[in-house]
Structure 1
Amino acid sequence: MSSLFSRIQEFAKSPKAREAIDKAKEMANDPKNKEKVQGYLAKFRKK
C-alpha cells in the first residue's frame, strides 16, 4: 500500500492533474469568480 504522499506525487505528475490546474487557473482569472470570492471574504471578515 502506497503512502498518501506518494499517491499525491503520482497524481501531481499525471495529465489529469494538469487539467485540474488549468481549470483552476481559468476559474481564478474569471472576473465573476473574483467578485464572488471578494464578497465571501468581506462577509467572513465582518464576523
Structure 2
Amino acid sequence: MTELINKPKSISQLFRVVFDTELVFAIMDILLKDTVMISTGYVEVMKTI
C-alpha cells in the first residue's frame, strides 16, 4: 500500500477504486429496489458516457 502511494498513478488508481466501489453499491441499490426500468435507464446512461 505504501508503494502505491509513492507512485505517480496512485491518485488516479485510488479514485478509480473509489468510483468502482460507488458504482457497485449504486448497481446493488438499483437491483435491490427491483425496478427494471431504472436499471435499464442506468445502463443506457453508462453506455453514452
- Same fold, TM exceeding 0.5? no
Q: TM class, shorter-chain normalised?
A: 0.3 to 0.5
Of structures 1 and 2, the one scoring higher in RCO (CA 8 A, sep 6+) is 2
TM-score (norm 1): 0.42
For the pair shown, which has the larger CA radius of gyration, 1 or 2? 1
Normalised to the residue count of structure 2, the TM-score between the two structures is: 0.41
